[in-house]
Amino acid sequence: MTTNELPTFIRKHKETGIRKDFSRTTLCFLAMELMVFMTLLLLLILVPIFYLFNHNKYNGQLPPGSLGLPVIGQSLGLLRAFKADKVEKWFQERITNHGHVWKASLFGYPTVVLHGPAANKFVYTCDGNLLASSQPPSLTRIIGCKNLMELSANDHKRVRAALVSFLKLEVLKQYVAKVDVEIQHHLQSHWHGKHEVQVQPLMKILTFDIICSLLFGIERGPQREKLLPLFHDMIEGVLSVPINLPFTKYNRAIIARKKLVPMIIHLIQKKKEALMEQNQGDIPHKDLITSLLSIRHDDSSTMISEEEIIDNIIVVMIAGYDTTAVLLTFFVRLLASNKSIYSTIVQEQQEISNSKAPGEALTWEDLTKMKYTWRVATELTRINPPVALSFRRAKQDIEYGGFIIPKGWQVSHNTN
Ligand code: HEM
C-alpha cells in the first residue's frame, strides 16, 4: 500500500512523522474496548446467577423492587437524579411503586432502602451486631478502610473521640477568626464587583479553602492548588458507578487517592517535626492533623495511627465538603427568594457589623448573636438534608416491615 492509499487521518500522521504515537493510541483504544467488552460479558454471565441466588433463597420475602444489572444496578439513575437535583422525585417514584421498603442495587451491592421516621429510628438505634456502620466497599477503596465509618467498637470510640476533640467548643472558638479571614478573602476575590455569580461552584471553592486551612493547615498557595484537582476527582468518584476502568470517574478517584496519600504522609511528617520542636501548647490553631498527632497515651505514643490519620482526614474532608457547600447554596437561594427572611438576616448581621471596628475579625461571641440566622440554617437543613443517603450493612438476616433484609446486604435510609 502506498502512502496515498492510506486513509487521510493515518496519512497525515505518517507525513508529520507521528504515526508511531498514533498506532500506540489506537492500540490503547483497542485495549480499552476489549476491557469494556470483557466487563459486559462478565455482567451478562453474572446477571442470571445473581437473580437465581437471591430470589430462590428468600422465597418471596425480599422487599419489592429490582436489583437490575450487577455493579450498575440503579446507581446510574440515582446519580443522574442527583445531578439534575431530582433525587427526591427519584425516591418518591420508588415509594409510590413499592412502598417504604424496597430493594435495589446501589454502588455495586444489593441494597434495601428504608424511608420514614421509623426507619431513621431503626437505623440510628440498631445494635451494631445487627446493622454495622459500613460504606459500599467501592467507596471504602477511595476513603480508606481505617475511616471512622468502617471502624467498630473500641476503635470507633477511640477515633471518634479524637475527631470530636477537634470539634470541641473551646477548639472551634479559636477557628472563628481564621474562617473569617478565608471568607473575607473569598468575597473579595469572587463576589466583589460582579453583577452575577454562580453560587454553588463558589460555595464549593469556599468550603475547599476552609477545609485546607482547618484540616490540613495548608494556607493559600501552590500546595492548595495541587490538592484541588485530586480532591475534585475523589468527590466525583464517590458519586459514580464503581467501575474501575481507565476512563471512568471511579478510576480517576482511586488514582487521586494514590497521589493524595503521599502528600498527607509528607504533611504528617512536617507536623510531627513541628510538634517536636515546639511545646504542643504553644501551637496556636492546631489543624486536624496536628490535633490527631497530639493525642497521646500515657507512655506518650500516639493514640491514632498514621493510617487512621490519613483515612480519617480524607473522610472528614469528604463528609464536610458537599454537606456544607450544599447548605450554604440553599441558604443563599433562600435569601434571594424570600424578602422577609433576607431583610431580617441583613438587620441581624448589620447590628453585629456596626459593633465592630473596620477590619476587625468576627469572634465566637458575634456568632452567638446570630440567633435568627442560625435558626434559618437549621430549618434549611431539616427541610433539605444535605446527606440524602447513608449506608449500613446487615450483619445477619434482619426482619423489617414484613420483609427480610439478607445478611451482607447494604441498608440505606433516605433522610429526605
Ligand atoms: C450541613 C452540614 C452537615 C450535615 C447536614 C451532616 C450530616 C451528617 C449525617 C446525617 C451523618 C450521619 C450519616 C449516617 O447516618 O451514617 C454525618 C456523619 C458524619 N459527618 Fe457530617 N454533616 C455535616 C457537616 C459535616 C462536617 C463539616 C464534618 C467535618 C468537619 C462532618 C463529619 C462527619 C463525620 C466524620 C461523620 C461520620 C460520623 C460517625 O460515623 O460516627 N460532617 N453527617
Three-class SS of 225-274: HHHHHHHHHHHHHHCCCCCCCCCCHHHHHHHHHHHHHHHHHHHHHHHHHH
Tell me whether residue 359 is in a domain: yes
Query: What is the identity of the amino acid at 73?
Result: G
Tell me whether residue 8 is in a domain: no
Residues 169 and 114 both lie in one domain: no
Q: Which string of b and e fits 220-250 if b means at least 16 CB within 10 Å?
A: eeeebeebeebbebbbebbbbbbbeeeeebb
* Ligand 1 in reach of 315 Cβ (< 6 A): yes
Residue 46 confidence class, pLDDT cut points 50, 70, 90: low
Which residue shows C-alpha cell 473569598? 186
Q: Give the integer Cα–Cα distance in Å for 345 and 130.
A: 45
> If you measure from the C-alpha of residue 314 to the centroid of ligand 1, how many angstroms do you get, rounded to a whole number?
13
Residues 235 and 170 both lie in one domain: yes
* Ligand 1 in reach of 386 Cβ (< 6 A): yes
Q: Give the integer Cα–Cα distance in Å for 112 and 64.
A: 9
> If you measure from the C-alpha of residue 274 to the centroid of ligand 1, how many angstroms do you get, rounded to a whole number?
30
Report which listed range, 65-79, 230-244, 275-289, is most confident.
230-244
Residue 245 confidence class, pLDDT cut points 50, 70, 90: very high
Residues 180 and 322 both lie in one domain: yes
> If you measure from the C-alpha of residue 387 to the centroid of ligand 1, how many angstroms do you get, rounded to a whole number?
8
Residues 177 and 306 both lie in one domain: yes
**What is the separation of C-alpha 387 from the centre of its chain, rounded to a whole number of angstroms?**
10
Q: What is the pLDDT of residues 390-414, one digit of tens each?
A: 899 999 999 999 999 999 999 998 7
Tell me whether residue 141 is in a domain: no
> If you measure from the C-alpha of residue 121 to the centroid of ligand 1, how many angstroms do you get, rounded to a whole number?
17
Neighbours of 4 (CB within 10 A): 7
Tell me whether residue 13 is in a domain: no
In the predicted structure, residue 27 carries a pLDDT above the cut 70: no
* Ligand 1 in reach of 160 Cβ (< 6 A): yes
Residue 22 confidence class, pLDDT cut points 50, 70, 90: very low
Residue 59 confidence class, pLDDT cut points 50, 70, 90: confident
> What is the reported pLDDT for 26?
47
* Ligand 1 in reach of 152 Cβ (< 6 A): no
> What is the reported pLDDT for 414?
79
- How deeply is 263 buried, as exposed, middle or buried, from its count of CB atoms within 10 A (0-12, 13-18, 19+)? middle
Residue 48 confidence class, pLDDT cut points 50, 70, 90: low
In the predicted structure, residue 37 carries a pLDDT above the cut 80: no
Of the candidates 76, 50, 43, 67, which has an alpha carbon nearest to the alpha carbon of residue 248? Answer: 76
* Ligand 1 in reach of 162 Cβ (< 6 A): no
Residue 263 confidence class, pLDDT cut points 50, 70, 90: very high
* Ligand 1 in reach of 381 Cβ (< 6 A): yes
Residue nearest to atom 16 of ligand 1 (CA): 390
* Ligand 1 in reach of 78 Cβ (< 6 A): no
> If you measure from the C-alpha of residue 320 to the centroid of ligand 1, how many angstroms do you get, rounded to a whole number?
7
* Ligand 1 in reach of 320 Cβ (< 6 A): yes
Residue nearest to atom 27 of ligand 1 (CA): 320
For residue 131, the cross-strand partners are: 394
Greater confidence (217 vs 94) lies with 94
Distances (CA, A) of 396 to 50, 129, 211: 19, 8, 38
Residue 4 confidence class, pLDDT cut points 50, 70, 90: very low
Share of the chain above pLDDT 70, in %: 85
CATH number of 42's domain? 3.30.43.20
> If you measure from the C-alpha of residue 110 to the centroid of ligand 1, how many angstroms do you get, rounded to a whole number?
24
* Ligand 1 in reach of 266 Cβ (< 6 A): no
Residues 337 and 248 both lie in one domain: yes
In the predicted structure, residue 281 carries a pLDDT above the cut 60: no
In the predicted structure, residue 231 carries a pLDDT above the cut 80: yes
Q: Give the integer Cα–Cα distance in Å for 373 and 305.
A: 39
> If you measure from the C-alpha of residue 33 to the centroid of ligand 1, how many angstroms do you get, rounded to a whole number?
39
To 5 degrees, how large is the angle CA 116–CA 74–CA 397? 60
Which residue among 179, 387, 410 has the greatest number of ligand 1 atoms within 8 angstroms of its CB, and so is best to mutate? 387
Residues 56 and 172 both lie in one domain: no
Residues 73 and 206 both lie in one domain: no
Residues 394 and 370 both lie in one domain: no
What is the mean predicted confidence (pLDDT) over 151-163? 89
> If you measure from the C-alpha of residue 321 to the centroid of ligand 1, how many angstroms do you get, rounded to a whole number?
10
Residues 369 and 404 both lie in one domain: no
Strand ranges for 262-394 from DSSP E: 389-394
Give the number of domains in the chain: 2
Share of the chain above pLDDT 90, in %: 52
Tell me whether residue 142 is in a domain: no
Residue nearest to atom 24 of ligand 1 (CA): 320
Residues 234 and 282 both lie in one domain: yes
Q: Is 295 helix (H, G, I), strand (E, B) or coil?
A: coil
In the predicted structure, residue 2 carries a pLDDT above the cut 50: no
Mean pLDDT of the chain: 85
* Ligand 1 in reach of 157 Cβ (< 6 A): no
**Which residues constitute the domain of residue 86?**
22-135+390-414
Strand ranges for 44-92 from DSSP E: none
Phi/psi at 89 (5° precision)? -65, -40
What is the mean predicted confidence (pLDDT) over 130-155? 90
Which residue among 121, 125, 313, 323 has the greatest number of ligand 1 atoms within 8 angstroms of its CB, and so is best to mutate? 323
CATH number of 157's domain? 1.10.630.10
> If you measure from the C-alpha of residue 323 to the centroid of ligand 1, how many angstroms do you get, rounded to a whole number?
8
In the predicted structure, residue 202 carries a pLDDT above the cut 80: yes
Tell me whether residue 76 is in a domain: yes
> What is the reported pLDDT for 276?
83
Residues 270 and 179 both lie in one domain: yes
- How deeply is 213 buried, as exposed, middle or buried, from its count of CB atoms within 10 A (0-12, 13-18, 19+)? buried
* Ligand 1 in reach of 324 Cβ (< 6 A): yes
In the predicted structure, residue 24 carries a pLDDT above the cut 80: no
Residue nearest to atom 39 of ligand 1 (CA): 149
Q: What is the pLDDT of residues 88-119, one digit of tens each?
A: 899 999 999 999 999 999 988 899 999 999 99
Tell me whether residue 3 is in a domain: no
Tell me whether residue 7 is in a domain: no
Residues 377 and 408 both lie in one domain: no
Report which listed range, 249-258, 268-277, 378-387, is most confident.
249-258
* Ligand 1 in reach of 133 Cβ (< 6 A): yes
